[in-house]
Chains A and B, each alone.
Chain A
């Protein structure tokens, strides 16, 4: 049960976020983004969300102008992966308050660290929306607090 990468593409094929959990060379990464992107972008929305790609399975879902693409092992649970996507979108939506693509462009770093709270090492880390949002809020507060240097912080 492992994610190999997470990819966010705009409808025009622009990359909005890439997160690699398996190690690939830059060339392989470029090729995979290109190949997977063209497979996903050219698919009609009515078809199923699963695609077979090399030894992997691609789970992709479109949210308005953005495609969320996950690459997992062939024998992974597809629907579960699909719901992880939704879980992520839900959290983004709560965090940004009605999220739009530009939020993710201007705050790409936030998109990354929200993802990091959700999953690491290619595995799901936290499944409670509430817990993730609470952690992110604490981190935000900590960032804005100018005197955060000295004392040991707790969560």
Chain B
């Protein structure tokens, strides 16, 4: 066979390339565009053609099918070149209902290229799709199924899913249609799971698996796998059949030869079957279990047959092989098989193999190593080869090798692996360094036999790749040194020596500052490490580091003043100088410290007592896991509890207040878990640091003492509690029916909602984005006076990268509209309890129905309502944006579902509208009028309704969206 990889040259010498295009006009146009010498010329040609087509579409009343097809094809080509086309969509859609196949086909192709799931034209094609689906013409059915499968939306799902399901199970359906229907259904299921109930499909799928046609079977397995991944339980009954199918293909070699791909029987189907089984525990039935084992053994032993074959044969063989290995590891019930797999994989890692195979083998070995210590040992034997892969030319392979080394590391190998990784770090490229540093730090801590080794490693990290050492890493060193007396002296010497190196990184200075401040006195008796030496080594760097670093050093200095009175005279002037620093934080510290050091000695000694140990809880669980979490690049912005926030939560000692803040950073803790704020200088209201920086603290030193607390507390990541009643986010979410209402590093909460007749349904989607399992997951809905909410129970666990759904049903009633229903979410991620509350975007207007009143009647009703005093609200609003009546109208009408009446108020700057707030039993109409004053960006809102709650609720909404 000719090697295809040499095919697909740009041109083919032996054949003038007219292709088989049966549209001459299109061919001529493409040739013309391609002859353009530069982008400008191309653009001119495209614009000219577009103008021509636009004119044709506009002028010709009866444009014939062929011409339409030709023009639509040209537009497709133009669109593919990257130009926006703003017309022609309608023409493409018209082609869908053509009777001539070639025109219909063009319509479908254009639709696939030009439209997408959320395109505004999509609702217009549903009817055509339905007609074609139900036609008796196989080709038309195929086209429709294909289109739905590729761009299907939720709306399509609702109306077309039943037809597709019927097609799929009907006996008369041909294989070509059946396979399309299966995948089409999968798309509809993914877009709108409610349209397909997995439970009802478990039996139907079982029947479909008897399909003799291997092409259809592959597609059906695609559907099964897609649905089973979401709800494995419902499809467990299919496992038996799947095992039998596998053994039929692998052991009995029963298959049509049309489905043999480079001598391998339908590798795609085999992989799907194996992948499906990996969702379940190993079969309990001994007969089936034996069969499956035999299949796996056969696959694992087949790799030798690949010698001398084409690359495609090897790939097809190996993709089945790797899938089988993944299944062996996932089931983990046959150690012999795992050993076989590990031996095989180790062979694949060798540099003699193709890089694809090495990549996959490294990834698979990580899985093997992750099972337990026995399997880890299987992998450790090949450490040398893996270390070699760490120096491969290919970044993809290096990344896999790093992952594997990280995964296979244990107590016995940690020292070797870490030192190899440190060696590699020196020469590693930028793309991998950050991950590498973090992994080394974690391994060093996790497997440290003694902590002095750990500290050594971290210092090597700082000196080799200081830029990549995150704050979390150095906070952790500080904690560990503080909590382990035996290494404090060692650490102090180490940092001082590091500081003597002129290239010491800023992170090194920060750690050095902190450690010398706390433990420098342990080595101070040695003349080579005396107080003065310590101070001078630090102060050499003072001018070249960031303000954050300066602050840390200032804290160190104040500790020096306390323990080494003989160098106090060197330090006090520094405090004095920096009391006028331009940086608020530095200034404040310097000022505080200069006051402390000139005050009474007793007070100073109490304040500057040694730091207490960090609490065990924080140390053992949360902290380190936070660091681990950082391995996932997606959670890079996780704020890790740093030394300053992890002090014992009961502590209210004064020293905490001054010492704990080497770096004011947003903390991961909710504000109320801060150490209680005891002000060492007496009763003072807590002030934000910004007030201080404005220079208003002359002679008011008291404020300064509590600075640290609000600085930490002001930016909790769970700040929802303090949110404005109507935040921008809620405002935005309240006028759309689907969106995202909460997102952080652990979880994303999306919602989809629909409302009618005083009833509402909201589907909440909880997506786990943390990379860890979320356990103990529970939610509570806190309702509000105007709403009766019923929430479906939601499961206790969310696996990484998966989603849970929860359906809320709501019934509206009359009541106070001033609050939002909220959702309390609580879960445990990686040992940490997380709890927060989210406002649900449910507002009065969701239950509003249109109310059409003719111009004259409006004033009659308006007058009628006037007499009812309190139900008649007026409010003036100042807007932050210029008055834009058309965009406001849009928000009010499409967003808030209010009915706008034109021709009532002659003044175009005013808006008059109505609505009908519906509960399941009653309707409360309301009328409103908005008068705008564009010059002053002001609005006057008047609302009248028979119900006082509705009147004030509507006013509040208008106020919120106008301001």
Contact = CB atoms under 8 A, between A and B. Distances in A.
Q: Do A and B bind?
A: yes
B109 A120 contact: no
Interface residues of A, number: 77
B415 interface: no
A101 interface: yes
A52 B4 CA distance: 26
Contacts of A15: 80, 82
Contacts of B137: 152-153
Contact of B19 (A102, A121, A152): A102
B299 to A, nearest CB: 14
Nearest to A61: B5
Given A113-B109, A121-B150, A1 B76 contact: no
A79 interface: yes
Contact of B222 (A20, A93, A124): A124
Nearest to A84: B268
Nearest to B99: A149
A144 B22 contact: yes
A31 interface: no
A125 B150 CA distance: 12
B21 A52 contact: no
A101 B258 contact: no
Interface stretch (B201-209, B392-400, B638-646, B753-761): B392-400
A152 B174 CA distance: 14
Interface stretch (B178-186, B553-561, B724-732, B734-742): B178-186
Interface in B303-327: 312, 315-316, 318-319, 322-323
Interface in B712-752: none
Nearest to A73: B801
Interface in B13-71: 14-15, 17-22, 27, 30, 34
B356 A49 contact: yes
Contacts of B34: 105
Contacts of A48: 354-356, 358-359, 394, 396-397
Contacts of B881: none
B126 interface: no
Contact of B150 (A21, A93, A110): A21
Contact of B11 (A79, A84, A100, A128): A100
A18 B114 CA distance: 11
A19 B77 CA distance: 14
Contacts of B30: 105-106
B100 interface: yes
A52 B11 contact: no
Contacts of A123: 183, 186, 219, 222, 226
A107 B23 CA distance: 10
Interface string B395-415: 011010000000000000000
Given A1-B275, A121-B150, A152-B136, A79 B102 contact: no
A152 B12 contact: no
A131 B258 contact: yes
B858 interface: no
Given A79-B315, A121-B183, A152-B137, A102 B20 contact: no
Contacts of A148: 100-102
B395 to A, nearest CB: 8
B284 interface: no
B312 A83 contact: yes
A63 B7 CA distance: 6
B219 A125 contact: yes
B630 to A, nearest CB: 17
Contacts of A93: 4, 7
A101 B11 contact: yes
A126 interface: yes
A100 B12 contact: yes
A110 B27 CA distance: 13
Contact of A23 (B118, B139, B323): B118
Interface string B370-384: 000000000000000
Contacts of A66: 8
- Mostly, the A contact residues are mixed
A99 B272 CA distance: 30
Interface in A93-144: 93, 96, 98-103, 105-110, 112-113, 116, 120-131, 135, 139, 142-144
A154 B138 contact: yes
A136 to B, nearest CB: 11
B214 interface: yes
A96 B4 CA distance: 13
A46 B359 CA distance: 13
A50 interface: yes
Contacts of B256: 128
B9 A109 contact: no
Given A48-B394, A86-B4, A127 B183 contact: no
Contacts of A19: 112, 150
Interface string B214-232: 1100110010011000000
Given A77-B322, A86-B312, A107 B20 contact: yes
A90 B22 contact: no
A41 interface: no
Interface in B860-890: none
B10 interface: yes
Interface stretch (B242-250, B259-267, B452-460, B899-907): B259-267
Contacts of A144: 22, 102
A116 B150 contact: yes
Given A123-B219, A124-B218, A155 B11 contact: no
B322 A102 contact: no
Interface in B134-158: 135-140, 142, 145-146, 149-150, 152
Contact of A63 (B4, B20, B319): B4
B20 A62 contact: no
Nearest to A29: B116
23 contacts: A10-B10, A46-B393, A47-B396, A47-B397, A48-B359, A63-B6, A64-B6, A65-B9, A65-B10, A80-B319, A98-B12, A100-B15, A102-B12, A103-B12, A123-B219, A125-B179, A127-B218, A144-B22, A148-B101, A148-B102, A150-B99, A155-B139, A155-B142
Given A66-B8, A107-B21, A124-B222, 7 more contacts: A2-B226, A79-B315, A79-B318, A80-B268, A109-B109, A126-B215, A128-B259
The 6 lowest CB-CB distance pairs between A and B, nearest first, are A79-B319, A48-B355, A121-B149, A120-B149, A143-B102, A121-B187
Interface of A: 1-2, 10, 15, 17-21, 23, 44, 46-52, 55, 61-66, 77-80, 82-84, 86-87, 89-90, 93, 96, 98-103, 105-110, 112-113, 116, 120-131, 135, 139, 142-144, 148-150, 152-155
